[in-house]
Amino acid sequence: MPDTLSPAPAFTAHKPYDGRLVAVLGPTNTGKTHYALERMMGHATGMIGLPLRLLAREVYDRVVKEKGVHAVALITGEEKIIPKLPSWFICTVEAMPLERKVDFLAVDEIQLCGDTERGHVFTDRLLNARGRYETLFMGAKTVAPLFRNLFPNGEIMFRERLSQLSYTGPRKLTRLPKRTAIVAFSTEKVYAIAELIRRQRGGAAVVMGSLSPKTRNAQVELFQSGQVDFLVATDAIGMGLNMDIDHVAFSGLTKFDGKRTRHLFAQEAGQIAGRAGRFTNTGTFGVTGDCDDMDEDLVAAIENHRFDSLMAAQWRNRELEFASIEALLRSLTRPTPSAALMLAKEALDEKALRHLVQIDDIADKVRNPVSLRTLWDVCQLPDFRKVSLDEHLKTVEFLFWSRMRPDGFVPEDWFEEQLGYLDRLDGDIDTLAGRLAGVRTLSYIANRPNWLKQIELWRDRTRDLEERLSDKLHEGLMKRFVDARTSALLKVLNTDDDLKPEVSPDGEVRLEGQLVGTLRGLEFTVTSGESLIEDKTLRQAAHRAIRPLINERLKALAHAKSGELRLKDSGVITWKNQPVARLEASDWFSPRISLLQSFDQAHLVEIATRRLSDYVRQTTFKELKALKGVLDASKDEAVTAPVRAIAYQLYENGGVLLRNSDTKLSPEDKTTLRTLHIAANRFVYSLPDLNKPNARRLLQAFGKVAAKGDHPARALSLKGQIDLPGYGVVVLKVLDAADKAMDKAVWIKGAAYVRDQDMTAIPGNARQGDKLMAALGYAKTDTRDVAEGDARTGWRPKKSADSRKPKRPEPEYINPYSPFAVLRQK
């Protein structure tokens, strides 16, 4: 149960109040706002004031979900959503319509009554805003002495933090844990850190107080959904924005407060650090980048939630006098009625008033209370654009003269011109953010009662433009600070669910719409990333997603039909026209197969590989029958030794063998060779069946994967070549051409006379042709005309090269022009 602080008598600065007045105080993550909303929704009517428009929108959405859109109103300086009969009002503190009486009223972050900029507004609500039956003020424990001083009969309810908060010291930006919020104190620093996180860690969401609710919500959703693991934010994050943050890292401990750069107050640092650890989850905080380490006193204060008490609230007189300029200025600086209240410094509205009444025309115009009230009213215009004071005063002055026109309305042509100037979606994120600030100014004007003639029209148009600019700004932030592919993949990696990749017909594999690689058969290629983090994430996501697909394909491959498989010339085996494996250096009839990539499913790999090996083996049995025949003959004891030797060498050499004249073959041996489909010419034995297209492709596939140095003769034969001693490597077609040329030769006295045109298939010049014939066992002799106009080159078998002697009997020379030639032919 929460503790209750007993009241103590002291000076009171409030009107008598019969309802329940409670201060709900405690550090962050104590459920104060949740408690207030439950109390509010338990009453028939209620109102809550929140410090930020962003937070007001968040709470509005929550209450609408509970009570319905027609029962809840949203009122901020730039936005009003008011149904006909609302029961609950969600507002920014400045925009609370206190003229409406409600049963319950609450103000959040009431410790801001000590803020030098906005404190007097919170103090006014603290002193004067009440619900009929119950009023709650939520804030830090530091408010307790002030509250007890001002309201001795009020109740103080202390709430303890739901989780522990501890300091972890300095860490590099690249070593920060996931679910970290990095806090910076300038837009430039936020952008610089977000850029670095994108390059190193995949991306970051960006949250700043200047963002529109829609943009901020979209950015927060990036972080909440796990699409990015890092959030870079200004100190606006400390004002009640609830997110699942595990760690808060300070990139600095100083900030510019509008006048000077100063160190963070311990309470400010504690408010920001307290965003880590939601509900019962432990939270941590630390420093990063070039930020100095926190001193021990500051760490102890934050960890133990012990901060200096707020002894006085900023105050400004709310009972203003409009009898004259002097009376109004005097009432604005009226002394405080209590030592517990401190006169607020000159705010922007007061500053604008003091400057404008120095203008003679304006001073003359505001000599009556009505016009003076109008001037004060337009001086309330916030400076959303953060322009110079002179520029801001020009806008306020224009609005004043517009309100002083006979009809009392701001000219709609001016408003439309301003809206049109901002209605552009081009430019960088700074330009878009600047336009959004301008739209906020116009939205404020459009939401002021009686400032514009067609209020609803201009409210709708400014809201529409803000929506479109917000979408574009979010898109720009995403493009600049988030690697969309990496963030999407990180999201799916952070889940335990089975990934469901999509595979297109051309093999593109996508996860969450993001391309992660290409799958062709069993060969998966990961898409490369632009950074180390992107590459790492891609590999992790891709391999996790592809594993079940590969397993299914391995199972299907183990039962693949032969018609679905093919061995390519390159040695790659395809399944359904997709590569799955490769042929390794091995024997034709004992093939070895390896899958294109390694997989961790050993059993599936084994059965798939066995099926592919069986397919290749059956294919070789079918297409290389001649080769299998000579292999079997080389092992058959019933076959003569010369034939077995030729058969074995033909097998070893891939179906081609140079003839050796030393080998003596009987007529039966020659018959056996023909039975084995072995062909012979003057120079080589060969297996003609291996020249068929299917057989040739199969041989080339084995040749592609043959190990270097392994069966050099076979490697050449698979390419249609042979090593000819004394000449070198020669194409078999050349030897065929040489054999045919010799068939057409005319033999005269032991020399073969060959026509030059029959030797054209021999490559190179005449010298190379002579070298080839010499290697084949012939010496060049004279050139003669064997007939009129039939000049031929003579080649005589070398006596010392018996192995190259012709294997056919030399025909007796008959002159074809002799009259006996006809008789000889008969």
pLDDT digits (tens, 9 = 90+) for 617-651: 999 999 889 888 988 888 888 889 988 999 898 88
Q: Give the single-character DSSP code of 403.
A: H
Cα angle, residue 246 at apex, residues 240 and 250 outer, rounded to 5°: 75
User: Is residue 511 predicted with pLDDT exceeding 80?
Assistant: no
**Tens-place pLDDT, residues 230-249:** 999 998 787 766 788 999 99
pLDDT of residue 10: 39
User: Which among 483, 547, 487 is positioned nearest to 517, based on CA atoms?
Assistant: 547
- If residue 104 lies in a helix (H) or strand (E), which one and from where to where? strand 104-107
CA angle 632, 613, 565 (to 5 degrees): 115
Q: In Å, what is the CA distance from 669 to each residue of 639, 662, 676, 680?
A: 9, 15, 11, 13
Q: How remote is the C-alpha of 134 from its chain's centroid?
A: 50
| The pLDDT of residue 819 | 42
CB within 8 Å of 521: residues ≥ 6 apart: 553, 574, 575, 576, 578, 579, 580, 596
Q: What is the pLDDT of residue 752?
A: 87
Helix (H, G, I), strand (E, B) or coil at 632: helix
Q: Looking at residues 764-787, what average pLDDT do you find?
A: 83
Q: What is the pLDDT of residue 822?
A: 42
Spatial neighbors of 577 by CB under 8 A, at least 6 apart, are 566
Secondary structure (3-state) at 124:
helix
Taking alpha carbons only, the member of 397, 399, 419, 417 closest to residue 409 is 399
Higher-scoring residue by pLDDT: 282, 445: 445
Check: CB of residue 714 under 8 Å from CB of residue 653: yes
Does residue 446 carry a pLDDT above 60? Answer: yes
Tell me: pLDDT of 472 over 90: yes
pLDDT at 25: 95
Q: Report which of 42, 120, 40, 35 is spatially closest to residue 73, judged by C-alpha positions.
A: 40
Higher-confidence position of 87 and 814: 87
Q: What is the pLDDT of residue 654?
A: 83
Q: What are phi and psi of 319, to 5 degrees?
A: -95, 80
> Got the DSSP string for 291-346?
PPPPPHHHHHHHHHT-------EEE--SS---SSHHHHHHHHTPPPSSTTEEEPPP
* Residue 663 near residue 802 (C-beta atoms within 8 A): no
User: Three-state SS string across 469-537, please?
Assistant: HHHHHHHHHHHHHECHHHHHHHHHHCCCCCCCCEECCCCEEEECCEEEEEEECCEEEECCCCCHHHHHH
E strand or H helix that includes residue 685: strand 684-686
Instruction: Please give the radius of gyration of the chain, using alpha carbons only, rounded to the nearest integer.
Output: 47
Q: Residue 446 phi/psi, 5° resolution?
A: -65, -25
CA angle in degrees (0–180, nearest 5) for 347-352-358:
135
Contact between 232 and 184 under an 8 Å Cβ cutoff? The reply is: yes
Q: Is the dihedral of CA 102, 108, 114, 117 positive or negative?
A: negative
| Residues 281-292 pLDDT 10s | 889 999 999 999
Closest CA to 442 of 386, 389, 388, 395: 395
Contacts of 132 (CB under 8 A, 6+ apart): 19, 101, 102, 103, 104
For 426, the token pair is 């081009």
Count other C-beta atoms under 10 Å from residue 562's C-beta.
11
Residues above pLDDT 90, as percent of the chain: 46
Q: What is the mean pLDDT of residues 486-493?
A: 65
Sheet holding 502-503, edge to edge: 502-503, 508-511, 514-520, 523-526
- The answer to whether 758 and 791 are in contact (CB under 8 A) is no
State which fold the 3-158 domain adopts.
Answer: Rossmann fold (3.40.50)
Identity of the amino acid at 429: I
Query: Does 138 have pLDDT greater than 50?
Result: yes
Reported as a pLDDT band with limits 50, 70 and 90, residue 820 is very low
**What does the pLDDT look like over 733-752, one tens digit per residue?**
888 888 888 888 888 888 88
Angle subtended at Cα 450 by Cα 448 and Cα 453, rounded to the nearest 5 degrees: 110
C-alpha to C-alpha distance for 432 and 518, rounded to whole angstroms: 38
Judged against a pLDDT cut of 50, whether residue 265 lies above it is answered with: yes
What rounded mean pLDDT belongs to the chain?
A: 86
- pLDDT at 564 exceeding the cut of 80: yes
Give all strands of the β-sheet with 572-575 in edge-to-edge order: 565-567, 572-575, 578-583, 593-595
How, if at all, do strands 180-183 and 72-75 pair? unpaired
Residue 374 makes CB contacts below 8 A (sequence gap 6+) with 366, 400, 403, 404
Nearest to 557 by CA among 516, 589, 601: 601
Q: Is the dihedral of CA 77, 81, 83, 84 positive or negative?
A: positive
Residue 449 or 257, more confident: 449
- In percent, the amount of the chain with pLDDT more than 70 equals 90
Q: How far is CA 224 from CA 179, 204, 243, 573, in A?
A: 9, 11, 7, 47
Q: Which residue has the higher pLDDT, 22 or 596?
A: 22
β-pairing, 656-658 vs 593-595, is unpaired
Residue 533's pLDDT band, with cuts at 50, 70 and 90, is low
Starting at the earlier edge strand, list the strands of the sheet with 746-748: 746-748, 751-754, 790-797, 778-787
Distance of CA 332 to the CA centre of its chain: 55
Residue 298 has pLDDT above 90, yes or no: yes
| Separate counts of helices (H) and strands (E) for the chain | 27, 36
Q: How many CA atoms lie within 13 A of 800 on its CB side?
A: 3
Mean pLDDT for the stretch of residues 535-558: 78
Band (pLDDT 50/70/90 cuts) for residue 470 is very high
Q: What is the pLDDT of residue 771?
A: 86
Considering the domain delimited by 165-304, tell me its CATH architecture: 3-Layer(aba) Sandwich (3.40)
pTM recorded for the entire structure: 0.66
Nearest alpha-carbon partner for 33 in 278, 285, 308, 281: 278
Cα–Cα distance measured from residue 563 to residue 548, given in angstroms and rounded to the nearest whole number: 25
Residue 370 has pLDDT above 80, yes or no: yes
Condensed to tens digits (0 to 9), the pLDDT of residues 2-29 reads 443 333 333 444 567 889 999 999 988 8
What is the pLDDT at residue 683? 87
The C-alpha atoms of residue 197 and residue 669 are separated, in whole angstroms, by: 82
Asked whether the predicted pLDDT for residue 813 surpasses 50, the reply is no
pLDDT, tens digit, 9 for 90 and up, residues 571-582: 899 998 888 899
pLDDT at 814: 43
Give dist(CA 626, CA 588) in Å, integer. 12
The answer on pLDDT for 427 being more than 70 is yes
How far apart are the C-alpha atoms of 303 and 118, rounded to whole Å? 27
Rounded to an integer, what distance in angstroms lies between the CA atom of residue 392 and that of residue 381?
9
The confidence score (pLDDT) of residue 146 equals: 95
> Among 238, 121, 230, which residue's Cα sits nearest to residue 173?
230
Spatial contact of 655 and 717, defined as CB atoms under 8 Å apart: yes
d(CA 249, CA 204): 14
Beta strand pairing call for 593-595 and 578-583 = antiparallel
Sign of CA dihedral 547, 550, 556, 558: negative
Q: Could you say which DSSP state residue 288 is in?
A: E
All CATH 3.40.50.300 domain ranges of the chain, comma separated, are 3-158, 165-304
pLDDT band for position 56 (cuts 50, 70, 90): very high
As given in the structure block, the two tokens for residue 471 are 């979408």
64 pLDDT more than 80? yes
Mean pLDDT of 753-782: 81
Is residue 163 scored above 60 in pLDDT? yes
* pLDDT score of 319: 92
The segment with the largest mean pLDDT, out of 84-88, 184-188, 202-206, 589-593, is 84-88
pLDDT tens per residue, range 683-712 = 889 888 888 888 888 888 887 777 766 677
Question: Residue 823 — pLDDT band, cuts 50, 70, 90?
Answer: very low
